[in-house]
């Protein structure tokens, strides 16, 4: 593992379903800069789907973005307004 305890791409098992925290950070930074990120694993441009909504009765509605790799089907969901991963 790397010093920050995030595995590098070569250290990840080939079938690992989720992105590593360092990969999620890379995706979020690219997306919040206004550019569509590429999948850290496949190097293919990700597609975006908006997810709206929230629970009924709450005074707010969360606006999230779902970024999906069309090749490997891995995905990441971010609450961009809050700058967090959901």
Joined tokens for residue 13: 């098992």
Domains of the chain by residue range: 39-86
Average pLDDT, the chain: 77
39 vs 64, which has greater pLDDT? 39
Please state the pTM of the whole predicted model: 0.66
- Please give the average per-residue pLDDT across 14-41, as a whole number: 89
Residue-wise pLDDT tens digits, 56-83: 555 566 678 899 999 999 999 988 665 5
Look at residue 25 and tell me whether its pLDDT is greater than 70: yes
Cβ proximity of 63 and 55 under 8 Å:
no
Alpha helices, DSSP H, located in the chain: 21-32
């Amino acid at each position: 593992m790397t010093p920050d305890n995030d595995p590098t791409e070569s250290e990840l098992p080939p079938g690992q379903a989720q992105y590593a925290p360092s990969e999620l950070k890379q995706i979020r930074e690219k997306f919040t800069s206004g550019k569509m990120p590429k999948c850290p694993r496949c190097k293919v441009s990700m597609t975006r789907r908006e997810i709206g909504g929230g629970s009924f009765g709450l005074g707010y509605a969360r606006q999230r973005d779902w970024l999906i790799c069309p090749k490997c089907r891995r995905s990441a969901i971010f609450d961009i307004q809050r700058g967090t991963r959901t």
